Structure 1
Amino acid sequence: MNLPLENTLFQSLPIPWLLDPHGLRSFPGPFLARFSDLWLGRVAQQGHRSEIVHALHEKYGTFVRIAPNHLSISDPAALQIIYAHGNGSLKANFYDAFVSIARGLFNTRSRAEHSRKRKIIAHIFSQKSVLEFEPYVKTYVQSFMEQWDRLCVAGAKGLQGNDGEGGWRGRDGRVWLDCLPWYNYLAFDIIGDLAFGSPFGMIAAAKDSAPVAKSQEQAISMYGQGDSKCDTVSIPAIKILNERGEYSAATGVLPLWLRPVVKRYIPWYSRGSEAVEHLAGLAIAAVAKRLSSPAYRVDVLSKLQDGKDDNGNPMGREELTAEALTQLIAGSDTTSNSSCAITYYLASNPNVQKKLQKELDDALANEDDPVSSYEVVKNLPYLEAVINEALRLHSTSGIGLPRIVPQGGLTIQGHFFEEGTTLSVPSYTIHRDREVWGDDALVFRPERWFERDNQAIQKTFNPFSYGPRACVGRNLATLELLVIISSIFRRYEVVLEHPDRPLETREGFLRKPLSAGLG
């Protein structure tokens, strides 16, 4: 039986280097990466892929070979070539590792299927539609701040909480806490309500817990009958989401033939595979519960139900559940990670925080609602610069997203790459390009957004990816960050508990802060 090249043992032997089918032998990179995908697999599993690839670009320059058939290119101009509309590039088999219930908008590799899905989904996240979601966002931001107000009062009395509440404690008239769990609770409750019709209740419980179907088969059967009464158990959804992201990102760079082997025999991969199943069960149980209710409400799920492709066909139930799960994954981790990183950078730069607070006080002086209105804050220049600067340094997705060169090839900086070559541009690295951002590119300084060449910045800044496969939820993410950050910093003064500690991260598909101790 003849298998495609990417499916065989071929990629893990010296043969690719000897034959050099894609003309990559002359490009520098780690020795093992010339012969095997295992080098990148190990790097991805360790959780610091973006930093390691960035160090290689610092050492070798623009082009770095990180696998037998994968070239990382740290040229901002390459974004418009590799990820452009209409160039025919396809997603690599990296994305197969992210499929659970069914292929969704994010992980489908077929151009035709992606086009069909995007036509159904894109209007859901148009600016007009996203504004309909604002009341839901504000409701949970209000609940979030009520919890923090409660902790501030308790902290001022010298009390302390438990680990489920971020291990908060009162000292020196302040409350000290890790803000990351709280931002996780907030993001999960928002997207849970939007994607599944009801929140997970994490803010109120101050706990990482969500119901998941005990048996996917039973849940699917119940779901098909419109019955939500399937057996469920509670899982730590945030923890499992993190495990799933790390597993899929590490598995996706391995050859296809090796993936079932590591999943069966290596415990780390086995746990990650179980996390994939748990998240699928969560989505199945949540959608089953929602669709059993006759009440109609305007949210992501209702709009997914109403959407139709060019032939007038709606999504099937399995596809609907898969897309709801995609929105849960994409809309929770990105918001919580970004909110935490922005808060960290503002806490570590008190002068920036004060400047932002003055802008917020001036703009919101006549607003009685403690939760900011998107309409009021959407055009605040310093707020936007603060958010963008944090997203630059803490790229939500910092890895280079792999694309397969289409028929006819691509040319980048005078190098011609043949059809079938895998190329990527790492956001983490181009966001630190000194030619674009200046000699202080590693420093958090929002003022650079008013000083630098705006055209070069716009071509390099890549927090939501680029081209036809860019993040469809960008408008919702922007609304959430503007409302969350403006509301929090209008109300609270935040400092770091340990100012000398950098923001530690661990990377799966996304770069996630490990903690952020604040007072």
Structure 2
Amino acid sequence: MNALSDLLDSLRSIDPLYIVALIPAVVVLVHLVPWLVDRHGIRSYPGPWLAKFSDLWLGRVAAAGHRSEVVDEMHKKYGTFVRLAPNHLSIADPAALQIVYAHGNGSLKSDFYDAFVSIQRGVFNTRDRTAHTRKRKIVSHIFSQKSVLAFEPHIREYVKTIIQQWDRLTDLGAKGLHGSEGEGGWQGRDGRVWLDCLPWYNYLAFDIIGDLAFGSPFGMLLAAKDSAPVAKSHDKAISAYGKEDAKVDVIRIPAVQILNDRGEFSASMGVLPPWWRPYVKRFIPWYSKGGAAVRNLAGLAVAAVAKRLAEPSYRVDLLSKLQEGTDDDGNPMGREELTAEALTQLIAGSDTTSNSSCAITYYLAANPQCQEKLQKELDEALENADDVVASFEIVKRLPYLEAVINEALRLHSTSGIGLPRIVPEGGLTILGQTFPEGTVLSVPSYTIHRDKEVWGEDVEEYRPERWFERDPDAIQRTFNPFSYGPRACVGKNLANMELLVIISSLLRRYHFVLEHPDKPLYTKEGFLRKPTECKVGMKRRV
């Protein structure tokens, strides 16, 4: 005790001005020493100057909302290998994709994914290999091709609803009428209705995944409004599970906006060192707002699951299948785990579908020859169809439709950032370079989707025909819209079905033009790249 007292007395005797002067020196040493020691042997790789010493460069880039584009520019400047942070190397080569994310290589997700945990870890943000294997066993069978076919009637129901809404607007627009702000401020002129189609795709995707994941839609399509119920108290809502007449107090929130805020917050928080994160959330208002979005989104899932489980249901949907699933020991998911997985499906299923549908519509409106060619294929294939919504069984075999969708997913890589992985014990060798255990590596989808050796010199052009011209093996190794390996998107089959049914149904029925033909598709990126708007003129086809 005497020694401790002497130490405290010594610290008290230090001049405060000396401590203040010492702080910058400590900060410099904390960042300089790891660079000098170079424990992972990546000091020689090029990259932005600040990124050699600090995570601040990548944190600033991620928060600005254009990480994929900036990293792509860095690769154009520095080459295949670019250092993004003191222990993070980006590798822009398709060959690296098969190694960094391969089955059985032992690599783990980095602490980037900790920033995406809210209720508890789900299949997306679980980092432990054993825990992930258990979760994936329960979840993966739900998304097999055979299983997702049971979801088609639900998808078709909401595609029919958006067609009814758009039929009404195109009829009014053809008469030159204008809409209210509540419906996005649409305008009728030149025989078309002019509107931003992005909100409508958000409503569609949210209602579909709300129905599949929670047993009922959020009602966004019918209301033409971004609104969903969120539980006021997570604990009270969870304790209401299984109780008769249990009531969950809710408020309504703009769920699409909350989801956007949450993605931007988590993606920029995840690139910061874990010990920075509590202070950043506390003292920087932008991050505080993102933390509130995480809580609200979790509250949405808690309220929806509580409501569903309090009511008897015999529906076949994601939630019922999650309830049925068991691990190797025969154990089902607990209530919080069930809610966390339902939230994962909400986030993944709404964002990807809405953003991709919007991007596909933009590229077809911007390239009328592609739109015409697709509509010809759809007219021939669906000539005898007696429903306004296309059948998955028919459209899943249409080659040009598939090329149209894939070309949009190539250019608008919904998940464009390089997903970070930790090199396992024994290291990894990529393109002749060996990286020791603990190094963080990533392969940026945005950049490899623009590899000229694979896709041709015109990589920035939207041209579905390239999918019939280029080497199919090279394309197979490079195209990465749903990630790759054991941690790839489990909902790939569901997403493919949704896009095929949505795009074929809407493009068969409507003709689209851009309101501003020379305006690019502006995006903002959190974890996913999202269009900010897509203003089109739309009319019913004869």
The TM-score bracket by the shorter chain reads: over 0.9
- Is contact 1:95–1:107 with CA below 8 Å preserved after alignment? yes
- For the residues of structure 1 that align with 2:263 and 2:241, how far apart are their CA atoms? 26
Displacement of 1:21 in angstroms is 0.8
Instruction: Tell me how far 1:95 sits from its aligned partner.
Output: 0.1
Please say if residues 212 and 318 of structure 2, whose CA atoms lie closer than 8 Å, have aligned partners that are also in contact: yes
Asked whether the equivalents of residues 404 and 423 of structure 1 are also in contact (C-alpha less than 8 Å), the reply is yes
1:419-434 pair list within 5 angstroms: 419-434=437-452
2:440 corresponds to which letter in structure 1? T
1:120-147 CA-to-partner distances (Å, cap 9, x unmatched) read 0101000111000000000000000100
Q: Which residue of 2 is the match for residue 388 of structure 1?
A: 406
Matched residue, 1:450: 468
Letter in 2 for 1:458: Q
Matching residue of 1:469: 487
Secondary structure in 2 matching 1:518: strand
AA matched with 2:434: F
State the alpha-carbon separation in 1 of the partners of residues 407 and 28 from structure 2.
43
For 1:388 and 1:488, how far apart are their aligned partners in 2?
17
Structure-to-structure mapping, 1:275-354, within 5 angstroms: 275-354=293-372
Instruction: State the one-letter code of the partner of 1:83.
Output: Y
Match of 1:506 among 512, 519, 524: 524
**Equivalent in the alignment of 1:81:** 99
Q: Distance in 1 between matches of 2:243 and 2:61?
A: 45
The letter of the residue matching 1:148 is W
Counterpart residue type for residue 357 of structure 1: Q
State the Cα distance separating 1:53 from its structure 2 match.
0.1
Is 1:70–2:84 an aligned residue pair?
no
Q: Does 1:403 align with 2:421?
A: yes
Q: Which residue of 1 aligns with 2:378?
A: 360
In 2: Cα distance, 1:11 partner to 1:319 partner: 42
- Aligned partner letter, 1:272: G
* Distance in 1 (alpha carbons) for counterparts of 2:264 and 2:121: 19
* Deviation for aligned residue 1:230: 1.2
| Superposed displacement of residue 222, structure 1 | 1.6
Q: Are residues 289 and 209 of structure 1, via their aligned partners in 2, closer, same or farther at CA, if it must alter by over 3 Å? A: same
Listed one character per residue, the Cα deviations across residues 84-136 of structure 1 (whole Å, up to 9, x for unaligned) are 00000000000000000000000000100100001001010001110000000
2:56 matches 1:41: no
> Counterpart of 1:91?
109
Offset at residue 498 of structure 1 (A): 0.2
**What residue number does 2:17 align with?**
none
Answer with 1 or 2: which has the greater Rg: 2
**Alignment equivalent of 1:16, drawn from 34, 51, 55:** 34
The secondary structure found in structure 1 opposite 2:241 is helix
User: Partners of 1:226 and 1:453 in 2: how far apart?
Assistant: 60
DSSP 3-state at the match of 1:494 = strand
Instruction: Summarize the Cα distance change of 1:259–1:394 in structure 2 as closer, same or farther, 3 Å threshold.
Output: same
Secondary structure at the aligned position of 1:223 is classed as coil
Shift of 1:242: 0.1
Contact 1:12 1:38 in 2 (8 A): no
Q: Deviation at 1:334?
A: 0.3
8 A contact 2:326–2:332 mirrored in 1: yes
When the two structures are superposed, what TM-score results if normalisation uses the length of structure 2? 0.93
Q: Which amino acid aligns with 1:84?
A: A
Contact 2:232 2:249 in 1 (8 A): yes
Q: 1:131 aligns with which of 132, 149, 153?
A: 149
What's the Cα RMSD here? 1.2
The 1:12/1:132 distance shift into structure 2, 3 A limit, reads: farther
**Aligned length, in residue pairs:** 512
Deviations 1:260-285 (A, max 9, x none): 10101111000000000000100000
* Deviation at residue 295 of structure 1 after TM alignment: 2.0
The residue identity in structure 1 corresponding to 2:61 is: V
Q: Deviations over 1:296-344 (max 9, x none)?
A: 1100000000000000000000000000000000000000000000000
Deviation at 1:224, TM superposition (A): 5.7
With over 3 angstroms needed to count, the CA separation of the structure-2 counterparts of 1:119 and 1:227, relative to structure 1, is farther
Deviates more, 1:86-95 or 1:219-228: 219-228
Structure 1 equivalent of residue 238 of structure 2: 220
Deviation at 1:166, TM superposition (A): 2.5
The reply to whether residue 177 of structure 1 matches residue 195 of structure 2 is yes
Q: Which amino acid aligns with 2:503?
A: I
Q: CA deviation at 1:12?
A: 6.0
Q: How many Å apart are 1:216 and its aligned residue?
A: 1.4
Distance 2:470 2:210 in 1: 39
Cα displacement string for residues 169-208 of structure 1 (whole angstroms, at most 9, x for unaligned residues): 1111110000000000000000000000000000000000
Which structure 2 residues correspond to residues 222-237 of structure 1 after superposition, within 5 A?
Answer: 222-223=240-241, 225=243, 228-237=246-255
Residue aligned with 2:240, SS:
helix
Q: Is residue 281 of structure 2 the alignment partner of residue 271 of structure 1?
A: no
Q: By how many angstroms is 1:221 displaced?
A: 1.9
The aligned residue for residue 5 of structure 1 is: none
- Is the contact made by 1:248 and 1:509 (CA closer than 8 Å) also made in structure 2? yes
Match of 1:3 in 2: none
**Deviation, structure 1 residue 163:** 3.0
1:227, distance to aligned residue in structure 2 (A): 5.3
1:311–1:269: structure 2 CA closer, same or farther, 3 Å change rule?
same
AA aligned opposite 2:296: H
| Amino acid corresponding to residue 65 of structure 2 in structure 1 | G
Q: CA deviation at 1:11?
A: 10
Cα deviation for residue 491 of structure 1 reads 0.3
Report deviation, 1:162.
2.6
Q: Which of 149, 165, 174 is matched with 1:147 structurally?
A: 165
Which residue identity lines up with residue 441 of structure 1 in the other structure? V
SS at match of 1:13: helix
Q: Contact (CA 8 Å) 1:214, 1:281: kept in 2 or not?
A: yes
Distance 1:22 1:396 in 2: 31
Matched, 1:32 2:43: no
Q: Distance in 2 between matches of 1:164 and 1:44?
A: 32
Which of 116, 138, 141 is the equivalent residue of 2:134? 116
Q: Is the 8 A contact 2:242 2:310 kept in 1?
A: no
Contact 1:144 1:203 in 2 (8 A): yes
The answer to whether the 8 Å contact 1:91/1:403 transfers is: yes
C-alpha distance in 2, partners of 1:489/1:389? 16
- The residue that corresponds to 1:439 in the other structure is 457
2:497 counterpart (476, 479, 492)? 479
Identity among equivalent positions (%) equals: 75
Describe the shift of the 1:304–1:443 C-alpha distance in structure 2 as closer, same or farther (beyond 3 A): same
Task: Flag the 1:312–1:266 CA change in 2: closer, same or farther, 3 A.
Answer: same
Deviation at 1:426, TM superposition (A): 0.2
- Are the aligned partners of 1:10 and 1:16 in contact in 2 as well (CA < 8 Å)? no
- Secondary structure at 1:493 match in 2: strand
Q: Given the two structures, how large is their TM-score scaled by the length of structure 1? A: 0.97
Q: Aligned with 2:327: secondary structure?
A: coil
SS of corresponding position for 1:495: strand
